[in-house]
Amino acid sequence: MIDPTTPGLEPETPAAEPETPAIGPAPEPPAAAPETPLAPDPAPGPPPLAEVPWPSEAAAIQARGNSPRRLAVLGFLGAVALGAVIGAAGLALATGAVGAPAPSPSPVPTEEPTAEATAAPVGNTFGRPDAPVTIDVWADYQCPFCRLEDLLFGGAIDREYVTPGIARVVYRDFAFLGQESIDAAVASRCAGAQEPAAQLRYHDALYTFQQGENQGRFARANLVQVAEIAGVPSKDAFTACLDDPAVAKAVEDETTAGRNVGVTSTPTLRLRGPGGERILTGFSQTWPPLREAIEAVRVAAPASPSPAGSPAPSGSPAPSASASPSPAPSASPSPAP
């Protein structure tokens, strides 16, 4: 209720009392509206196809919850699969394949071994062992330019030189940026100790998850998780290998060997082949210089022609290049008559 003494407010006017209706016969009640009959319960039967979840969808809902986006994607994939089945059935009916005898199977051609099949990664090496060119890649797993070199040019080297059998790549440890560099190199070797091909899978995974230097990225727990991602068979054997001092000593020895051949920074590529040796220091930046260096060591340089000798006097044969000059006769006095 509002106080009537409040300035600016009008006093309330009492509400008028309702008029009393005249007394007379009571009005008849309104007729009730006709009731709408209830629809009969649907006959029992299979639910519509849209309400039946696909087995993969049901498993996904049970495992991860039924988010609207996930259900929409799964429903779309289910519709596509159903359309493919209906289309295949219609094609079979149209071509008369239903009821027709099955054709005799064609002989399967035998595949010849290729260079790619014999270039499976083994340990830290990728490529044919008899390839004429060897590319030693000295790197540190915490080095960002090593990762960039491998990301930008590793695939080109693989396609153009490793797969055809021209070159093989050997990844060398030059762990000099801190303890996590050594730990990562040890972990890569431990992956290869169980399965030779797992070492390069682990190598690729380390570069994928690289971030900063000695900031915990390659802590022990993370290295174990990377092993699971790379498909290392036994977690227990892997963790036991991480504590093996012999593996850490091998990483240290290879780093020392790199210094002995002139490695001072990473990445460093040492190319060896019939044409000699080339050492590329630092990030390559572009592909052409790297390709030219590989081509330079791929083929031996042609031998330079030997200088032509001076013409010999007529009537006497020219001496051979390897022949040593004959000694001059001694000037002994002739006997007196």
> Starting at the edge strand that comes first in sequence, how are the strands of the sheet with 133-139 ordered?
125-126, 167-173, 133-139, 268-273, 276-281
Here the tokens at position 184 are 């990562």
Total Cβ atoms within 10 A of residue 30:
6
CA separation for the pair 25, 78 (Å, rounded): 71
Helix 235-242 to helix 220-229 angle, to the nearest 10 degrees? Answer: 140
**Domain housing 289:** 125-298
Beta strands in 177-295 (DSSP E): 268-273, 276-281
Phi, psi of 273 (to 5 degrees): -170, -170
Peptide bond into 267 cis (omega under 30): yes
Q: Considering only CA atoms, which of 173, 177, 180 is closest in space to residue 256?
A: 173
Here the tokens at position 168 are 């093989």
Residue 20 lies in a domain: no
Residue 27 lies in a domain: no
What percent of the chain is modeled with pLDDT above 70?
A: 54
CA separation for the pair 25, 308 (Å, rounded): 149
**pLDDT, tens digit (0-9, with 9 covering 90-100), for 91-113:** 333 334 444 444 444 444 334 43
User: Cα torsion at 187, 190, 191, 195 (round to 10°)?
Assistant: 170
Task: Count structural domains, the chain.
Answer: 1
Please calculate the CA angle 256-257-263 and round it to the nearest 5 degrees. Answer: 85
Residue 335 lies in a domain: no
Q: What is the CATH number of the domain that holds 285?
A: 3.40.30.10
Q: Are 295 and 273 in contact (CB under 8 A)?
A: no
Residue 313 lies in a domain: no
Residue 189 lies in a domain: yes
Q: What is the DSSP string of 2-47?
A: --TTSTT-PPPPPPPPPPPPPP-PPPPPPPPPPPPPPPPPPPP-PP
Phi, psi of 89 (to 5 degrees): -65, -40
- Model pTM greater than 0.75? no
What integer pLDDT is reported at residue 315 of this predicted model?
44
Please calculate the CA angle 145-149-155 and round it to the nearest 5 degrees. Answer: 155
**CA contacts within 13 A on the Cβ side of 149:** 21
Residue 262 lies in a domain: yes
Residue 59 lies in a domain: no
Residue 43 lies in a domain: no
Provide the 3-class DSSP secondary structure of residue 139.
strand
In the chain, which residues have pLDDT < 50?
1-7, 9-15, 18, 20-24, 36-40, 42-118, 310-337
